[in-house]
């Protein structure tokens, strides 16, 4: 069974600070996705990383896929209150018909 461990589970920071969220597994994934979920809504896809070592940037968010394709990180620079939400990573295993989700990191950015 493929599992994805996210850390930290909760993170509360002040506006303007930087932060990193981690997504780790002992399994190899063919791709990893990051979603953000705001209260009362469903998760929304932020990015997909496919190649080991790949780095993608989305404004102040930087996503990295580990060289061995077992882990990923999300770094937010100069966090803003609008970044508040639940961040979920999800992995696709080879040939699978469904994604494996981590339990999420709940981020609160205080003004």
Residues forming the site for other proteins (CB under 8 A): 9, 30-31, 33, 35, 40-45, 48, 50, 88, 90, 92, 96-99, 101-104
In the complex with other proteins, which residue's Cβ is closer, 23 or 109?
23
In the complex with other proteins, which residue's Cβ is closer, 85 or 102?
102
Closest to 80 (Cα-Cα) out of 40, 44, 107: 107
Q: Report the nearest approach of other proteins to the CB of residue 28 (Å).
A: 14
In the complex with other proteins, which residue's Cβ is closer, 26 or 77?
26
Closest to 35 (Cα-Cα) out of 12, 17, 15, 61: 61
Distance separating alpha carbons of residues 82 and 100, to the nearest angstrom = 26
């Amino acid at each position: 069974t493929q599992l994805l461990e996210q850390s930290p589970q909760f993170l509360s920071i002040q506006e303007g600070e930087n932060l990193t969220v981690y997504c780790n597994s002992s399994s190899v994934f063919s791709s990893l996705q990051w979603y953000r979920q705001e209260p009362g809504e469903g998760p929304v896809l932020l990015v997909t990383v496919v190649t080991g070592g790949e780095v993608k940037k989305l404004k102040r968010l930087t996503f990295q896929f580990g060289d061995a394709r077992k882990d990923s990180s999300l770094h937010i620079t100069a966090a803003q209150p609008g970044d508040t939400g639940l961040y979920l990573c999800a992995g696709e295993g080879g040939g699978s018909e469904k994604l494996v989700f981590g339990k999420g990191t709940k981020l609160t950015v205080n003004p």
